């Protein structure tokens, strides 16, 4: 086994390193037929120059390609570091038992046919789990396509992509929850001259999971960027832990996550529940944790390569040089759509470059250097652009010469002034694989398409913004006044679910969230007494757990300004309730102060089965579900999270003095969002969903008020939802 790196690694990282850098390997189910997958693992191990000892295991052979073959793990003359199991699923458990007995610490189970195939397979996995529990064995898979340590040439996988004659070691560590993709990504990246440090297929993650491999790569000195293909997270806390470690070590995590196309929206009693899909929660987690969410398959290596080569630029100002008009036009267009801009070069750049450029060209950006008609124009212009403080990013576009005469076409880029620390990326207009490879190997991130180039730069800029923000203090502010949790829990347990509006707001008030002055009346007389105390104008509402949409049911009356109004309305809304739903339970009539003016927003909580309580913010009114103009974060929230939530909602312009409207009390809104986050965390065992809808935002300094609210408790059996 090669010596461990100097740096101290935590146990799980060391265990993975041990598996990936073994001094000896047993291949259980090895075959001499190198065209079959059973032969390929051995073939690739040898082909790519593995230096350690290899023990093929197969009772049918005495030797395979000159290596002595053993009938079983038990029969091995020594304990190997790593066992690779590729026999049919039914035999896996007993081989693992042998491994445990032998003292083998690393087991890679390539065999499929386990949990992914149904009940019987899950039972088999449980059996294996029982066998390894409490032992030192760490297990990769089952159903893994295998693992490749490219840095040290330990290729332990039958994936056909390793037929490639050469593997370029790179600084990108790849973790994939799909085995098939590891081969695809390897061959696609190799064709571009982009290399990986490790490629790990996680399989069914019975033991080691994506987060563990991420931790290993974060510690690994050969890896700068962690690229992950994700179908789902197994353990949220472990995932968070890995991400925090990555930030600590300054290594970006780039994730391509599938599951964006969700079938329909969830059935939920609250607006918040209906608006919060599980993919949206992943999005929120990625934003909060500074994980770059990729869009396209090839982003996994193209964007990773960019991140491994450059730190984020300071801004979005691009200086572009090109030898071809069309390619630059499309690329500039794609960048413009993503918010980049193309300022004029500085006066100094114009002054100097006018020595070799015609007048109409010297102030251009994108600059078509073929206009210069002078040799060396590209090279001189590139260095000027690099030094120009008007540009944060330089893009060098090359035309057809990149394909047919790459050395000449790329000369200017390859010989650029390397002392200037500013991202230089390249887009090649023609089909030019050789040139793409050449540039990548010389440290220039390259892109096959204008769209990918623009997107990648956007990711890098956004990541830089996260880092800036992240350097600020990020703490969840304490709630004041500190709520009486025991009392609140008691109160909650005394109510049926969903809580009615009044009950819900009492809970909110316990968290210091401003609510309306209001009381429940059970007779017109009692109501009038309350009315006199609160003062006109008033609002009357029928309280019923069976009527969720009050406007629809016409059990809500605004603008009551006199006793006469009051008595009439009281009678009318009770009659409407009866008509709308004859068997509706009526808890009374809510007499409530009427708030005038302000802007309606919605703040809510819903519960993700994996990530727990999430907080949503959006503009109120009927359109919230139409435009889905809402923002989401996983609780607990920091102040920065709350501020970003407000900023992310387009409709928030209405709170910022839009078109002469009074500015809203955004400070009060942020305070409520943070208090709701606190409530969501405190009561995460009890509260399933919460809507404050509307929360009225009054003028700046005048506060906010929860006008209506709904809390859905966990005992879902009692929950009735209406067909809406």
Rounded to a whole number of angstroms, the minimum distance from the CB of residue 368 to its own copies is 9
Q: By CB under 8 A, is residue 325 in contact with its own copies? A: yes
Q: By CB under 8 A, is residue 181 in contact with its own copies? A: yes
Instruction: Determine contact, residues 242/218, Cβ cutoff 8 Å.
Output: yes
Q: By CB under 8 A, is residue 278 in contact with its own copies? A: no
Q: How far apart are CA 395 and CA 405, in angstroms?
A: 20
Nearer to its own copies, 175 or 513 (CB): 175
- Going by the DSSP 8-state scheme, the letter that residue 70 receives in this structure is B
Give the one residue of 1, 4, 136, 337 binding its own copies; rule: CB under 8 A.
337
Instruction: Determine contact, residues 394/423, Cβ cutoff 8 Å.
Output: yes
Q: How far apart are CA 619 and CA 603, in angstroms?
A: 9
Residue with tokens 């061959």: 187
Rounded to a whole number of angstroms, the minimum distance from the CB of residue 329 to its own copies is 5
- Name residues contacting its own copies, limited to 239-258 (CB under 8 A): 256, 258
Rounded to a whole number of angstroms, the minimum distance from the CB of residue 579 to its own copies is 14
Q: By CB under 8 A, is residue 296 in contact with its own copies? A: yes
Nearer to its own copies, 190 or 671 (CB): 190
Q: By CB under 8 A, is residue 60 in contact with its own copies? A: no
Rounded to a whole number of angstroms, the minimum distance from the CB of residue 378 to its own copies is 15
Rounded to a whole number of angstroms, the minimum distance from the CB of residue 476 to its own copies is 31
Nearer to its own copies, 291 or 655 (CB): 655
Q: By CB under 8 A, is residue 401 in contact with its own copies? A: yes
For residue 50, what are its two tokens? 């593995």
Half-sphere exposure for 104 (CA within 13 Å, toward CB): 31
For residue 268, what are its two tokens? 């939920």
The helix/strand/coil state of 327 is helix
Q: By CB under 8 A, is residue 231 in contact with its own copies? A: yes
- Going by the DSSP 8-state scheme, the letter that residue 650 receives in this structure is G
Q: How far apart are CA 141 and CA 150, in angstroms?
A: 19
Choices 25-33, 330-338, 512-520, 680-688; region in contact with its own copies by CB under 8 A: 330-338
Q: By CB under 8 A, is residue 623 in contact with its own copies? A: yes
CA dihedral 466, 468, 471, 473 (to 10 degrees): -80
Q: How far apart are CA 670 and CA 639, in angstroms?
A: 8
Instruction: Determine contact, residues 139/191, Cβ cutoff 8 Å.
Output: no
Residue 236, Cβ density class (10 Å: 0-12 exposed, 13-18 middle, ≥19 buried) = middle
Q: By CB under 8 A, is residue 374 in contact with its own copies? A: no
- Name residues contacting its own copies, limited to 660-679 (CB under 8 A): 660-661
Q: How many residues bind its own copies (CB under 8 A)?
A: 72
Rounded to a whole number of angstroms, the minimum distance from the CB of residue 443 to its own copies is 22
Q: By CB under 8 A, is residue 161 in contact with its own copies? A: yes
Choices 21-29, 63-71, 281-289, 294-302; region in contact with its own copies by CB under 8 A: 294-302
Q: By CB under 8 A, is residue 259 in contact with its own copies? A: yes
Nearer to its own copies, 241 or 325 (CB): 325
Nearer to its own copies, 187 or 610 (CB): 187
How far are the Cα atoms of 574, 575, 712 from residue 584, in angstroms, in the given order? Answer: 11, 12, 18
Rounded to a whole number of angstroms, the minimum distance from the CB of residue 198 to its own copies is 17
Instruction: Determine contact, residues 124/93, Cβ cutoff 8 Å.
Output: yes
Give the one residue of 327, 445, 498, 604 binding its own copies; rule: CB under 8 A.
327
3-state secondary structure string across 220-278: CCCCCEEEEEECCCCCHHHHHHHHHHHHHCCCCEEEEECCCCCCCCCCCCCHHHHHCCH
Q: By CB under 8 A, is residue 593 in contact with its own copies? A: no
Give the one residue of 71, 130, 326, 487 binding its own copies; rule: CB under 8 A.
326
What contacts 97, CB < 8 A, 6 or more positions away?
Answer: 131
Q: By CB under 8 A, is residue 191 in contact with its own copies? A: yes
Give the one residue of 265, 354, 355, 431 binding its own copies; rule: CB under 8 A.
431
What contacts 414, CB < 8 A, 6 or more positions away?
Answer: 438, 439, 442, 444
Choices 76-84, 282-290, 328-336, 712-720; region in contact with its own copies by CB under 8 A: 328-336
Q: By CB under 8 A, is residue 295 in contact with its own copies? A: yes
- Name residues contacting its own copies, limited to 492-551 (CB under 8 A): 549, 551
Rounded to a whole number of angstroms, the minimum distance from the CB of residue 650 to its own copies is 5
For residue 364, what are its two tokens? 């251009």
Rounded to a whole number of angstroms, the minimum distance from the CB of residue 302 to its own copies is 11
Give the one residue of 450, 588, 618, 694 binding its own copies; rule: CB under 8 A.
450
For residue 273, what are its two tokens? 């529940």
Handedness of CA 313, 319, 323, 329 (dihedral sign): positive
Give the one residue of 604, 651, 664, 668 binding its own copies; rule: CB under 8 A.
651
Give the one residue of 184, 548, 584, 719 binding its own copies; rule: CB under 8 A.
184
Rounded to a whole number of angstroms, the minimum distance from the CB of residue 723 to its own copies is 11
3-state DSSP helix/strand/coil % of the chain, to nearest 5: 40, 20, 40
Q: By CB under 8 A, is residue 335 in contact with its own copies? A: yes
In total, the chain counts a number of residues equal to 724
Rounded to a whole number of angstroms, the minimum distance from the CB of residue 449 to its own copies is 6
Q: How far apart are CA 676 and CA 476, in angstroms?
A: 12
Pairing of strands 538-543, 556-560: antiparallel
Q: How far apart are CA 457 and CA 320, in angstroms?
A: 13
CA angle 539, 543, 545 (to 5 degrees): 150
Show the binding pattern over residues 543-582: x = contacts its own copies (CB under 8 A), - = does not. ------x-xx------------------------------
The helix/strand/coil state of 588 is strand
For residue 214, what are its two tokens? 């991420």
Give the one residue of 130, 358, 376, 487 binding its own copies; rule: CB under 8 A.
358
Give the one residue of 659, 685, 701, 717 binding its own copies; rule: CB under 8 A.
659
Give the one residue of 190, 209, 220, 689 binding its own copies; rule: CB under 8 A.
190
Rounded to a whole number of angstroms, the minimum distance from the CB of residue 146 to its own copies is 13
Handedness of CA 387, 389, 395, 398 (dihedral sign): negative
Give the one residue of 159, 233, 357, 412 binding its own copies; rule: CB under 8 A.
159
Rounded to a whole number of angstroms, the minimum distance from the CB of residue 274 to its own copies is 12
Half-sphere exposure for 661 (CA within 13 Å, toward CB): 17
Give the one residue of 343, 430, 443, 477 binding its own copies; rule: CB under 8 A.
430
Q: By CB under 8 A, is residue 691 in contact with its own copies? A: no
């Amino acid at each position: 086994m090669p010596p461990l790196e100097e740096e101290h690694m935590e146990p799980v990282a060391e265990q993975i390193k041990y598996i990936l850098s073994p001094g000896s390997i047993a291949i259980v189910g090895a075959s001499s037929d190198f065209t079959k997958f059973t032969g390929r693992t051995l073939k690739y191990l040898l082909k790519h120059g593995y230096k350690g000892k290899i023990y093929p295991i197969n009772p049918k052979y005495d030797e395979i390609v000159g290596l002595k073959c053993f009938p079983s793990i038990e029969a091995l003359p020594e304990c190997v570091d790593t066992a690779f199991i590729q026999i049919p699923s039914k035999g896996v458990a007993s081989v693992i038992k042998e491994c445990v007995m032998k003292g083998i610490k690393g087991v890679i189970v390539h065999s499929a046919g386990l949990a992914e195939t149904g009940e019987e397979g899950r039972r088999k996995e449980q059996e294996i789990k029982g066998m390894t529990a409490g032992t030192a064995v760490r297990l990769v898979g089952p159903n893994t396509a295998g693992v490749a340590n490219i840095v040290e040439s330990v290729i332990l996988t039958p994936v056909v992509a390793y037929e490639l004659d050469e593997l370029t070691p790179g600084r990108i560590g790849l973790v994939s929850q799909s085995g098939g993709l590891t081969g695809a990504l390897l061959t696609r990246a190799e064709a571009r001259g982009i290399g990986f440090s490790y490629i790990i297929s996680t399989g069914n993650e019975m033991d080691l999971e994506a987060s563990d491999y991420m931790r290993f790569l974060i510690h690994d000195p050969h890896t700068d960027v962690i690229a992950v293909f994700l179908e789902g997270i197994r353990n949220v806390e472990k995932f968070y832990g890995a991400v925090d470690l990555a930030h600590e070590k300054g290594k970006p995590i780039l994730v391509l996550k599938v599951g964006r196309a969700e079938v329909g929206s969830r059935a939920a009693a609250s607006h918040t529940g209906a608006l919060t899909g599980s993919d949206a929660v992943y999005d929120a987690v990625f934003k909060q944790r500074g994980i770059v969410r990729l869009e396209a398959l090839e982003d996994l290596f193209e964007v990773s390569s960019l991140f491994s080569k450059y730190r984020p630029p300071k801004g979005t100002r691009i200086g572009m040089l090109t030898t071809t008009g069309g390619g630059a036009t499309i690329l500039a267009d794609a960048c413009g759509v993503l918010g980049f801009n193309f300022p004029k070069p500085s006066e100094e750049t114009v002054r100097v470059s006018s020595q070799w450029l015609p007048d109409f060209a010297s102030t251009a950006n994108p600059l078509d250097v073929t206009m210069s008609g002078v040799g060396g124009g590209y090279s001189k212009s590139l260095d000027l652009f690099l030094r120009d403080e008007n540009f944060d990013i330089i893009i060098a576009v090359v035309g057809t010469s990149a394909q047919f005469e790459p050395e000449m076409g790329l000369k200017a880029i390859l010989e650029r002034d390397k002392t200037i620390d500013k991202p230089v990326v390249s887009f090649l207009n023609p089909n030019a694989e050789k040139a793409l490879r050449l540039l990548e190997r010389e440290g220039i991130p390259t892109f096959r398409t204008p769209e990918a180039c623009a997107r990648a730069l956007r990711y890098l800029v956004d990541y830089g913004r996260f880092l800036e923000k992240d350097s600020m203090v990020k703490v969840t502010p304490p709630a004041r006044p500190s709520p009486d949790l025991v009392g609140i829990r008691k109160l909650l347990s005394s109510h049926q679910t969903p809580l009615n509006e009044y009950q819900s707001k009492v809970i909110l008030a316990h968290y210091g969230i401003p609510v309306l002055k209001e009381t429940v009346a059970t007779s017109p007389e009692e109501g009038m007494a309350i009315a006199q105390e609160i003062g006109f104008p008033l609002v009357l509402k029928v309280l019923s757990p069976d009527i969720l949409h009050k406007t629809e049911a016409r059990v809500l009356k605004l603008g009551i300004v006199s006793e006469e109004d009051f008595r009439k309305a009281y009678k009318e809304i009770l009659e409407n309730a009866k008509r709308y739903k004859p068997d509706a339970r009526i808890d009374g009539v809510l007499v409530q102060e009427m708030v005038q003016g302000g802007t309606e927003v919605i703040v809510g909580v819903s519960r993700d089965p994996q990530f727990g309580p999430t907080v949503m913010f959006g503009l109120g009114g009927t359109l919230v579900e139409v435009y889905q103009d809402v923002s989401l974060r996983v609780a607990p929230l920091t102040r920065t999270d709350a501020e970003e939530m407000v900023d992310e909602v387009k409709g928030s312009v209405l709170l910022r003095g839009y078109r002469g409207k009074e500015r809203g009390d955004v400070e009060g809104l942020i305070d409520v969002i943070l208090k709701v986050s606190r409530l969501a965390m405190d009561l995460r065992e009890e509260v399933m969903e919460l809507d404050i809808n509307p929360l009225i935002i009054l003028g700046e300094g005048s506060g906010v008020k929860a006008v209506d609210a709904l809390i859905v408790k966990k005992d879902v059996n009692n929950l009735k939802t209406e067909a809406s």
